[in-house]
Amino acid sequence: MSHPRSAVVLLSGGLDSATALAMARADGYVCHALSVAYGQRHSAELDASVKVARRLGAASHRLIQVNLDLIGGSALTDHRIAVPEGQAPDPASGGNSIPVTYVPARNTLFLSLALGLAEVQGAEAIYIGVNAVDYSGYPDCRPAFIAAFENVAQLATRVGVEGGRLRIETPLIALSKAEIIRRGTALGVDFAETVSCYQADADGRACGRCDSCRLRREGFAAAGIADPTRYAAA
C-alpha cells in the first residue's frame, strides 16, 4: 500500500484559500488545513474556515492563535486604524501603494507555521492562496517572495537537511478573481460559506464597501456567476 501524499493548506475562510484547498484536494493530496487567528477584527472568517475545511474534506484542521495585535501596524489588527472603503491603490503605482490593511510579515508568519506542521506531518507541499493579480498591493503576495520562502523552507527543515524538498504551491498566483471563482465553483467550493470582508459582522455578513468586498463582487460579475455573498443591510 502506498503512503498517501499530504499537503498543508493555509485556510483563512476567504474565497481564495477555499479554492486553494479544493485545488490541493484535486491534486490528490490528503490535506491538513491550518488557520491562524492573529487578532483580526472579526472571527467570522475563522468560523467560515471550519465549514470550508469540513465541506472540502480536509483530513485535519488546526487553529493557531498569535497575538499580533501586540505588534500592531495594520488596520486589520489595530482597531484604532480605520479600514479604507472605496478603490484599492493601483499596484502599478509603485512602492508607496501598500495599503493600511497590510499586516506586517503576515504571509511570512503563516508560511512559518505551515512549515512547522508540514515537517511534523511529513507533507510534501504547502498550499497558500496568494494572488499577484488582484492582490491589493501586498509585497508578500509576489512570486519572488514565495520563491525566497521556498528556499528558507529547504534550509530550515529536517527534510531539507536530509535532501528532500518541500514545495510552496501557489495555484492562484496568476489567476484573476473571476478565474478563481470559476475554478472553485467547478471543484465544489460553496462560496456562500466563505467570508472575504475586512470588517464582516459577527454573523459573517460583508460590508460591501471595503477593498476585499469590491474585488470579490467584481470577480463574481466578471465570472458570470451569481454572487452568493451575504451583505449587511446598508
Q: Is 207 in the site for a second copy (CB under 8 A)?
A: no
Q: Is 11 in the site for a second copy (CB under 8 A)?
A: no
**Residue closer to a second copy, measured from CB, 155 or 226:** 155
| Block residue for cell numbers 463574481 | 220
Using CB under 8 A, which of 26, 50, 133, 156 touches a second copy?
Answer: 156
Minimal CA–CA distance to 8: which of 191, 185, 157, 136?
157
Separation between Cα atoms, residue 29 and residue 122, nearest integer Å? 12
Q: How far is the CB of 32 from a second copy (least distance, A)?
A: 10
**Residue closer to a second copy, measured from CB, 193 or 211:** 211
Q: Is 51 in the site for a second copy (CB under 8 A)?
A: no
Other beta carbons less than 10 A from residue 190's beta carbon: 14
Q: Is 64 in the site for a second copy (CB under 8 A)?
A: yes
Q: Are 126 and 115 in contact (CB under 8 A)?
A: yes
Minimal CA–CA distance to 198: which of 113, 78, 105?
78
Q: Is 145 in the site for a second copy (CB under 8 A)?
A: yes
Q: Is 117 in the site for a second copy (CB under 8 A)?
A: yes
Other beta carbons less than 10 A from residue 31's beta carbon: 26
Q: Is 167 in the site for a second copy (CB under 8 A)?
A: no
> Helices 15-26 and 44-55: crossing angle, nearest 10°?
20
59-70 burial, b for 16+ CB within 10 Å, e for fewer? eebeeeeeebee
Q: Is 149 in the site for a second copy (CB under 8 A)?
A: yes
Binding region for a second copy (CB under 8 A) out of 95-103, 174-182, 190-198, 225-233: 95-103
Q: Is 123 in the site for a second copy (CB under 8 A)?
A: no
Separation between Cα atoms, residue 164 and residue 217, nearest integer Å? 41
Separation between Cα atoms, residue 185 and residue 30, nearest integer Å? 20
Using CB under 8 A, which of 148, 207, 225, 232 touches a second copy?
Answer: 148
Q: Is 61 in the site for a second copy (CB under 8 A)?
A: no
Task: List beta partners, residue 34.
Answer: 10, 62
Q: Is 135 in the site for a second copy (CB under 8 A)?
A: no
| Block residue for cell numbers 494572488 | 131
Binding region for a second copy (CB under 8 A) out of 81-89, 116-124, 193-201, 219-227: 116-124
Q: How far is the CB of 140 from a second copy (least distance, A)?
A: 4
Q: Is 92 in the site for a second copy (CB under 8 A)?
A: no
Residues that bind a second copy (CB under 8 A): 62-68, 70-73, 95-96, 98, 102-109, 111-113, 115-117, 119-120, 139-140, 142, 144-145, 148-149, 151-158, 160-163
